[in-house]
């Protein structure tokens, strides 16, 4: 996949549950479209998932399910690298090094740390706190130019840039300073049950989150139950978080502008609109679910794909890792 003229795109996703419509619209759709223009390197960030306690059998299943799901979304292993983070030991090594170049104060400001520690008050572990330096290492190891992510990751991209700039300031030009690549549409898909909160894999309210592998019936049911407001007028506006979110999803999938959507649903109620959004999502996800069903049956093929990618990822990332170790003063 390496082509020297192309820029490098790197991104990763945690296999912490079934991939959501938010993950798909915010990140994975861009991963797919970037494959021709960039040298794309993608990872399943399984090391990140253990910041929250995981059941071992469920975790193994989630990893394979996520791998198959992302192939089903259209990641082509002939064009892009798609590997498993824990299989490439440079990630854990780089995370330790970068921990030592990251300040306690800047980690304390991360909103994801604050949110997740409030959600998992019984397990506020050091890994949850230092998560951004592991993520910075993921990106910097590959000298990435662009990082396609949803809007919730903006702060982690900023800290990655700060860590890289600090390191380069001490040792010369070691890391490329990456830029976030956040889509105009779909960057922040909200929960269908609480549209002030982002849609998350780990949402306990099953109706709040649409999963890539949900059946058409489940998707329709979730959209029909989506929280809206009492106005019954499809338009984008303040205090209309539920409708704004549905319009965002619909616009991202259909490519229609908000003005066009408002025009098309003039005089129609929320019921019609929710049905239209549900149907658009069902049709968008249908081929993905079908392809997933065939990938997940072929574990040998999945293993062949990730083993090959793991090996190449180790080779590429070792170049940066060795450079970093030498600059710091380690004897190699």
Cα within 13 Å of Cα(14), Cβ side: 16
Q: Is residue 159 near ligand AQP by the rule CB under 6 A?
A: no
Region 94-153 residues binding ligand AQP, contact defined as CB under 6 A: 149-150, 152-153
Q: Does 40 bind ligand AQP (CB under 6 A)?
A: no
Residue 202 near residue 52, CB atoms below 8 Å: yes
The pair phi, psi for residue 179, each rounded to 5°, is: -115, 145
- Contact criterion met (CB below 8 Å) for 84 and 43: yes
Residue 200 binds ligand AQP (CB under 6 A): yes
Total binding residues toward ligand AQP, as defined by CB under 6 A: 23
- CB closer to ligand AQP, 187 vs 305: 187
CB–CB of 44/63 below 8 Å?
yes
> How far apart are alpha carbons 199 and 196 in whole angstroms?
9
Q: Which of 5, 6, 61, 116 is catalytic?
A: 116
Q: Are 170 and 98 in contact (CB under 8 A)?
A: no
Beta carbons of 188 and 151 less than 8 angstroms apart: yes
Given a contact cutoff of 8 angstroms between Cβ atoms, the answer to whether 94 and 316 are in contact is no
- For residue 191, the minimal CB distance to ligand AQP (Å) is 8
Residue 24: CB minimum distance to ligand AQP, A? 8
The residues near 24 (Cβ < 8 Å, ≥ 6 apart) are 73, 212, 285, 288
Whether 146 sits among the annotated catalytic residues: the reply is: no
Region from 35-43, 193-201, 259-267, 290-298 binding ligand AQP, contact rule CB under 6 A: 193-201
Structure tokens at 277: 């959004």
Nearest-10 crossing angle of helices 270-297, 299-328 = 90
Indicate whether 305 belongs to the interface with ligand AQP (CB under 6 A): no
Pick 167 or 222: Cβ nearer ligand AQP: 222
Pairwise CA distance, residues 13 & 124, whole Å: 21
Specify whether 116 is catalytic. yes
Q: Min. distance of Cβ 15 from ligand AQP in angstroms? A: 8
Q: Which is nearer to ligand AQP, 187 or 324 (CB)?
A: 187
23 binds ligand AQP (CB under 6 A): yes
User: Least separation, in Å, of the C-beta of 199 and ligand AQP?
Assistant: 4
Given candidates 9, 10, 16, 31, which one binds ligand AQP under the rule CB under 6 A?
16
Nearest-CB residue for ligand AQP? 26
Using DSSP bridges, classify how beta strands 8-13 and 39-44 pair: parallel, antiparallel or unpaired: parallel
Q: Judged by CB, which is closer to ligand AQP: 62, or 228?
A: 62
Out of 8, 10, 14, 91, point to the residue binding ligand AQP (CB under 6 A). Answer: 14
Round to whole Å and give the CA distance between 78 and 202: 31
Q: In angstroms, rounded to a whole number, what is the distance separating the alpha carbons of residues 164 and 97?
A: 12
Assess whether 198 carries a catalytic annotation: yes
User: Which amino acids are annotated catalytic?
Assistant: 116, 198, 201
Question: Interface residues with ligand AQP (CB under 6 A)?
Answer: 13-14, 16-17, 20, 22-23, 25-27, 45, 149-150, 152-153, 187-189, 198-202
């Amino acid at each position: 996949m390496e082509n020297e003229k192309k820029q490098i795109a790197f991104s990763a996703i945690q296999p912490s549950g079934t991939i959501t419509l938010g993950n798909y619209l915010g990140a994975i759709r861009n991963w797919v479209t970037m494959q021709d223009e960039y040298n794309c390197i993608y990872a399943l960030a399984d090391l990140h998932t253990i910041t929250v306690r995981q059941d071992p059998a469920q975790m193994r299943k989630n990893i394979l399910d996520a791998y198959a799901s992302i192939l089903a979304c259209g990641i082509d292993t002939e064009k892009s690298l798609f590997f498993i983070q824990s299989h490439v030991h440079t990630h854990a090594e780089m995370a330790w090094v970068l921990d030592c170049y990251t300040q306690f104060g800047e980690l304390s400001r991360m909103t994801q740390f604050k949110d997740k520690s409030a959600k998992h008050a019984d397990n506020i572990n050091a890994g949850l706190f230092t998560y951004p330096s592991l993520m910075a290492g993921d990106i910097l190891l590959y000298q990435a130019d662009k990082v396609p992510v949803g809007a919730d990751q903006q702060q982690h991209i900023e800290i990655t840039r700060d860590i890289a700039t600090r390191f380069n300031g001490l040792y010369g030009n070691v890391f490329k300073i990456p830029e976030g690549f956040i889509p105009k549409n779909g960057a922040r898909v909200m929960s269908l049950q609480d549209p002030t909160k982002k849609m998350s894999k780990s949402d306990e309210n099953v109706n709040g989150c649409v999963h890539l592998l949900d059946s058409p019936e489940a998707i329709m049911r979730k959209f029909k139950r989506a929280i809206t407001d009492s106005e019954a007028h499809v338009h984008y506006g303040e205090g209309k978080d539920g409708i704004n979110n549905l319009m965002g999803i619909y616009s991202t999938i259909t490519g229609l502008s908000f003005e066009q959507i408002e025009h098309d649903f003039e005089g129609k109620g929320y019921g019609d609109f929710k049905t239209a959004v549900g149907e658009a999502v069902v049709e968008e996800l249908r081929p993905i679910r079908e392809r997933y069903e065939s990938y997940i049956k072929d574990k040998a093929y999945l293993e062949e794909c990730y083993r090959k990618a793991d090996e190449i990822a180790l080779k590429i990332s070792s170049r940066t890792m060795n450079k970093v170790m030498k600059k710091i003063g380690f004897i190699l």
